[in-house]
Structure 1
Amino acid sequence: MTGAATGGPSMVEIAEEWDSYQEIPAIDEAYEEALGDQFAGRFSGATPDYPERLAARLGRASGTRVLDAGCGTGGLTAALAARTGCEAVGLDAGPAAGRVARTRPAAREAVGRVSHTVGDMTKPDFPAGSFDAVPAIGSGYWSDPATAVRNWRALLRGDAPAIVVVISRILRPQTRRDVELALQAGLFESCPDWDGALFVAGFDVEVRDLTAADAACVERLHAALARRLPQLREQMGPERGARHLAAVEVLRDEHRAGRMSRIEIVATPGGGRR
């Protein structure tokens, strides 16, 4: 976890830092080139077609309501609404998320069905039975799984409710430089036991390995940012521009060394693990 307990930046500070990057043209262009508009600004989404595959799991009914927990700048929130016809609510600790998300093409396609709110993704302030699904893509390493699962479980409704968590981890001890570059302390710590917490809460749990596809996306993202280093330095300042590229380089190098993994956990109410 980040914040006062570790002396590092708080979750809100981290969220605001990353959200602010998406108003940097060179960063936005690089993410869109490498990952597609739906993932602009997020170390999320193993492949550009991930929203399609996630939408297929969550269903395509127009009455479906989805909570995107830890939505970042809202690209996935809008993409799900555009592809499924569902109503999608993005929840993030950073207040910039909603403002940035409204600029996405997918948000224009899904006008009236996408909204954003600021808050703690582990303790959503919504009435019980408000959502058919809760995806948390690339934000779960900041959170306590037991608390989040308990609160998300109360939000679920419908015929086929689901929780989908996509999480990464780097398989080595964290250094001070990692925190300074990536501002994501939990990414380098032991992976929170999301599948265990979901199983204990009575879910059937299915785990998929997304590491290879994620590695390819990180390679593309690093290359796209490296080509734009002069623009990054100009638009962010020399130090911040170089730091942003270096943060992505850490992820690329960890993938190349075989020390980074990425998994998708799909949980549906049941009671057994497969």
Structure 2
Amino acid sequence: MTSTPPAASMAQIAEEWDSYQEVPAIDEAYAEALGDQFAGQFSGATPRYLEDLAARLGWNPHTRVLDAGCGTGGLTAALSARTGCTAVGLDASPAAVRVARTRLADRPEADRVTYAVGDMGDPALPPGSFDAVLAIGSGYWSDPATTVGHWRTLLRGERPAVVVVISRILRPQTPYDVELTLQEGLFAPHPDWEAALRAAGFEIEVRDLTEPDAQCVERLYAALASRLPALRAQLGDAPGERYLAEVQVLRDEHRAGRMRRTEIVARLGGQP
């Protein structure tokens, strides 16, 4: 199991992703490939997927969800828009949270969504204040064993849930992978969320989302590739090409059959 990256690495990650905020070509590509995310957030989740997830778990306007590692907050807002739930997005990047707040301001779900800067692995939030914790594509930079313990204190109700959606590449991570993707734990060895959740007393159900994720990544790569001149103009030549290369890694690993996308739904108490 990987450990949480050191502070310098986390600062590098935040700086890298902050550079992608409010880039029109990236936003346009995500809107074309995935739907209403309202921000260029590096995730293969779609609003339709969030709607299906909420229906399976019974999330409704009375549900309060923590989106742990929310990035620029597009998924947080999309979840609330489609379910009516109250949602709190938490991310370590102040720049990403500023973007999330700005883009939320004119949306109809603005009264149900808030964003905060904080550590998703150790949220400084009141105990027993959420019905669910959702982490989509953010489980690479947090140690599962300690994180799950903190999340459990946040949960309330008869059947609270933790949902972790994570991609895994089935080959060892190389120095080039680290340099390019800045996603420790995406490549083997992987953070063992399943074992950590079971050890904390959760009952878990695992679903394979690899096929729909591959389709999303193909659409996203095509949308970004068609905008490469704009990416170069808006990010700079090298950063623009690097962003496209990051998504190409995922596309190529899917095509080689080495990428797995996993949904882990963990519940406490009672019956589903």
Question: Is this a same-fold pair by TM over 0.5?
Answer: yes
Query: Shift of the alpha carbon at 1:271?
Result: 9.3
User: CA 1:197 to 1:91, structure 2 compared with 1: closer, same or farther past 3 Å?
Assistant: same
Aligned to 1:81: 80
- The equivalent of 1:162 in structure 2 is 161
> Mean Cα displacement is larger for which, 48-57 or 166-175?
48-57
Q: Secondary structure at the match of 2:204?
A: strand
Per-residue CA deviation, residues 215-272 of structure 1 (Å, 9 max, x unaligned), is: 1111111000000001111111111111111111111001100111110000001499
**Structure 2-normalised TM-score?**
0.92
Q: Contact (CA 8 Å) 1:64, 1:87: kept in 2 or not? A: yes
Deviation track 1:54-109 (CA, whole Å, cap 9, x = no partner) reads 22134343232110001111011111111222211001111122222235479712
Please tell me the root mean square deviation across aligned C-alpha atoms, in Å. 2.2
Kindly report which structure 2 residues correspond to 1:4-19, keeping only aligned pairs within 5 A, or say none.
Answer: 4=6, 10-19=9-18
The 5 Å alignment of 1:142-157 reads 142-157=141-156
Q: Which residue is 1:235 aligned to?
A: 234
Greater Cα shift, 32-41 or 203-212 = 32-41
Kept in 2, the 8 Å contact 1:97–1:116? The answer is no
Q: Which moved more, 1:51-60 or 1:203-212?
A: 51-60
Equivalent positions of 1:89-238 (< 5 A) are 89-104=88-103, 108-238=107-237
2:30 paired residue number:
31
Q: Distance in 1 between matches of 2:200 and 2:270?
A: 8
Q: Give the deviation of 1:30 after TM superposition.
A: 0.5
| CA shift for structure 1 position 39 | 7.2
CA contact (8 A) 1:95 1:118 kept: yes
Q: Which amino acid aligns with 2:264?
A: I
Change (3 A) 1:2 1:270: closer
Tell me which amino acid in the other structure corresponds to 2:90.
L
How many Å apart are 1:172 and its aligned residue?
Answer: 1.0
Equivalent residue of 2:220, what SS?
helix
Say which is worse superposed, 197-206 or 11-20, in terms of deviation: 11-20
| Secondary structure of the structure 2 residue equivalent to 1:141 | coil
> Aligned AA for 1:268?
R
Q: Is the 8 A contact 2:22 2:39 kept in 1?
A: no
Give TM-score scaled by structure 1 length: 0.91
C-alpha contact (below 8 Å) 2:210/2:259 kept by paired residues: yes
Residues 31, 113 of structure 1: alpha-carbon distance in 2 compared, 3 angstrom cutoff: same
- State percent identity of aligned pairs: 72
Q: Structure 2 vs 1, CA of residues 137 and 194 (structure 1 numbering), >3 Å: closer, same or farther?
A: same
Question: Contact 1:107 / 1:114 at 8 angstroms: preserved in 2?
Answer: no
Distance 1:65 1:107, change over 3 A: farther
Task: Output one character per residue of 1:148-206: Cα deviation in whole Å (capped at 9) or x when no partner.
Answer: 11111111002321000001111112222212221212212322111111111111100
Conserved 8 A contact 1:78-1:106 = no
CA contact (8 A) 2:29 2:220 kept: yes
Q: Which runs of 5+ in 2 are unaligned?
A: none
Distance 2:106 2:82 in 1: 11
- Pairwise CA distance, 1:42: 2.8
